[in-house]
Amino acid sequence: MVMPMLKMFGAVLIVLAGTLAGLQRARQYADRPRQIRSLIAALQRLETEIKYGFTPLPDALRKIGAQARGPVQQMFVTAADEMSPPNNRSAKEAIEQAMEIHGSNTALKAPEKEIIRQLSCTLGTSDRSNQTTHITLALQQLNQEELAARDDQGKYEKMSKSLGLLLGVLIVILIF
């Protein structure tokens, strides 16, 4: 009597684990476009700060980080902290450090991270017009990545949910 009950409990746990794995994967597909949009909004604010605000870069990054949400917020605040004393890192080093620390907490993929890395090479090292030109280019590239992320979300989000459940059921069938 106890043995069939334990088997049933184990089967439910396996199906639940598969379902949760599928839901987690689906959430990543849903989070990616949202985080890219948040990154785009943050870069638009940075462009405004550089172009019109004459704000020092660490202060601008901190201000933008305070307005952003989630992992994007953490990346900008960390980058600002890395550029400020006692670290005094360059924008490139600070942004790379922030992405290394917080990159795994985001749904951003390699293309978005590479766009930000390329942008970080020009931040703080060139004049305002050159920096705003590079930010505009980065924004265009991020808009393209957002479209691709939305497309992926549409294709794979529902499928991931279903596959998680089906994988759990398949494992139960194979084991029992």
Residue 34 has a pLDDT of: 94
> If you average pLDDT over residues 38-66, what whole number do you get?
90
Q: What is the mean pLDDT of residues 131-146?
A: 95
pLDDT of residue 171: 93
Residue % of the chain over a pLDDT of 70: 99
Average pLDDT over residues 58-69: 90
Q: Rounded CA gap, 49 and 62, in Å?
A: 11
Name the pTM for this structure: 0.85
pLDDT in tens, 86-135: 888 998 999 999 999 998 889 999 999 999 999 999 888 888 889 999 99
d(Cα 134, Cα 115) in Å, to the nearest integer? 10
- Where are the alpha helices (H) located in 49-83, listed in sequence order? 57-67, 70-83
Distance CA 158, CA 165 (A): 11
